[in-house]
Amino acid sequence: MSTVHRLRSVLAIRPFRRLWLVTYLCSVGDWLSLLALTGLVSTMMKSYEWQSFALPLVVLTQLLPGILFAPIGGVLADKFDRRKVMVVCDVLRGSLFISIAVVGSPIWLFVANFLVGCCAMLWIPAKESAVPNLLRRPDQVESANQLGLVMTYGISTISGFGLYSLISGIPGYLNLLGGNLEFTVATIAVVINGLLYFTSAILVATRLPELSGRVSSTRKKDEDRPGFVAMFREGLKFAGKTPLVRGLLIGMIGAFAAAGAVIGTAKLYALSLLGGASTFGLLFVAVFLGLAVGMATAPRLAQRLAYNRLFGVTIVLAGISLALVAFAPHLWIALLTVALVGACAGVAFLTGLTIVGSQVEDDMRGRTVALIQTLLKVVLFGASAGAPLLLTLLQKRQISVFGHPMEVDASRPVMLGGAAIAIVLGLVAYRQMDDRREEPVLSSLFAVIRGRRHSKGMLIAVEGDTREDTSVQARRLAATLRAEGLDVLLAADPEHDERRLRTMLSSAELAGVRAQALVAAAVRADVVERQVRPALDSGSVVVMERYVDSPLAHFTATSTLEHQELEGLVDWATGRLRPDLTILLDRPVVDGKRIGPEHHWRVQRLLSEMAAADPDRYVVVEAEGDADEVAERVRSAVVPLLAGLKRPVPQAAV
């Protein structure tokens, strides 16, 4: 249910929903082009040998542009208007596909397909780097990536293959059987493919002006940005000097190398299991089922293990799983371990995309996406091509195990080599990206496996529109939990904290809302560092009023500050520590003493949206009535959730 709420809250954002539709059109075009161009090549080539190379040649001409042009696409995405880049690329792709049908030459088909791939490598960084700017909160990036992957590799795949099947019947329906049926089908498919890209260009140009927006501390105009070569060097320097991005890229290399080893050895590995084409198909089904499960479970795992740790850990686990695949003696064991590899890869892939979207600054995001795309093409291509060469060199070997001869297929040591690369580079990536080294990773992993969160304590936040409500209910909740036998800390006595905050604000009022936000963040940073984290580490339950959500909603509703700026400030102040449970006091809008009812309505609406986006972490309590009635509602809602806990409950390491 919570996953449905999270995805629905992202799809409720109109610009993202429209971009999702654009992604659908372009992804359908990508899958349709694979079938259509392969069909055209097969009919244009007279030689049987050349026909056998139809699919590999089509794939190769789409793979090469990623090696050559992805870095250029990253610079374009960071330097120019991303919407204009996407429109131009879509128009060019549509025109190139139409030209393939018009020219009818196999040479031009490969040239045009290569150019289409170049346009795709310019389009992808612009699109991916713009997605986080369309969302309301950074924590929605993961859900947006889930939806994007489901669309690209799920819905669009089925639609593209289904559309090609439908197109294949058109000539027969229209009695267009005078010529080559397969050629006619492929030509129609290529023309429809071009129209899909033209439609995408129109939608981006007319319905998605938000893609032109940027979030940048420098706010540079396009003409004020450095030159093309300088920006390219700046991107490489940023990747090399930033531990987060450096670790991300190193981990991706390990993951792609292992994937390439699997692709290059899959056919012979299936034969080593005494299977044939059906075994080969089952292995691929297991991988994709694992990928789907991994992408679906990644958000829950991320609640228990921080993204920066989860990424490296899952790559190491994928390498270990691949080693188990290499040793699998039976088909069913192979299927289970292959599915485990896919699940780990799915978690790592979604986590990596989420890190790029939520933690890499907007000015560098396009180049970071482009670097990942380049690594994907280069490493995957190199590993896929190198694996068959290793298979040729190693051949099958006879070994003796306890005096018994055993034949070892060459695919297994190659897989072990890929597993070793993934494990080593996953560990390196983990060390680069881990921002909580004081917490042992093994204990974190055991906590994840047990379904628990790693910290010893639990953080409960009480949020609401009015300070009077949150102050009273936080104190009463702390007393209630103490009566239940729990060790409870009421963090930052509200009255003392508010006097301190007002004193600090009084000297900063002339500086405006930005200074007020900084003061509010400073107070919370001090409380988290001095009180909250030590109490959590010692195993206490911490109750704190107006921790993050209420101040964030207040500043968002009353100022012109960018929401992403406020989120970044909150993350910095709290060290990305989020509550395990948030009690939202929901009160009808009433006139405020100093701010009118419109402000209350906006703050309450923002808080309600936060709760709807993450229902697993929120308990919404009706705040209408006297304090005793509200306290009883809070007790009835919270105490059952902590039933049986007479000691501190575990909490997430964020």
pLDDT of residue 497: 55
pLDDT 10s digits, 4-42? 767 887 888 899 999 999 999 999 998 888 777 776 766
How many other CB atoms are there within 10 angstroms of residue 407's CB atom? 9
Query: Where do the CATH 3.40.50.300 domains begin and end in the chain?
Result: 455-642
Q: Return the CATH number of 1-210, one of 3.40.50.300, 3.90.70.10, 3.40.50.410, 1.20.1250.20.
A: 1.20.1250.20
pLDDT at 375 over 60: yes
> CA 34, CA 86: separation in Å to the nearest integer?
21
How many other CB atoms are there within 10 angstroms of residue 528's CB atom? 23
> 397: which residues sit within 8 A by CB, 6+ positions away?
407, 408, 410
How many other CB atoms are there within 10 angstroms of residue 97's CB atom? 28
pLDDT: which is higher, 355 or 217: 355
Locate 497 and state its tokens: 């904290």
Q: Are 480 and 631 in contact (CB under 8 A)?
A: yes
Query: Where do the CATH 1.20.1250.20 domains begin and end in the chain?
Result: 1-210, 234-454
The mean of the pLDDT values for the chain is: 77
pLDDT at 123 over 90: yes
Least reliable range by pLDDT among 236-245, 304-313, 613-622, 628-637? 613-622
Q: Which CATH architecture has domain 455-642?
A: 3-Layer(aba) Sandwich (3.40)
Q: How many residues does this entry show for the chain?
A: 654
pLDDT 10s digits, 204-241? 999 999 898 765 444 445 455 567 678 778 888 888 88
Question: Which strand (E) or helix (H) includes residue 54?
Answer: helix 54-79
Assigned superfamily of 234-454: MFS general substrate transporter like domains (1.20.1250.20)
Q: Tell whether the torsion through CA atoms of 632, 638, 644 and 646 is positive or negative.
A: negative
pLDDT 10s digits, 440-477? 555 555 555 544 444 557 888 888 877 778 888 888 88
Beta strand pairing call for 581-586 and 618-622: parallel
Rounded to two decimals, what is the model's pTM?
0.67
What Cα–Cα distance (Å) separates residue 572 from each residue in 90, 249, 577, 585? 39, 24, 9, 26
What Cα–Cα distance (Å) separates residue 457 from each residue in 24, 424, 443? 44, 33, 15
How many other CB atoms are there within 10 angstroms of residue 263's CB atom? 18
Beta strands in 539-636 (DSSP E): 541-545, 581-586, 618-622
pLDDT of residue 86: 95
> CA 367, CA 126: separation in Å to the nearest integer?
9
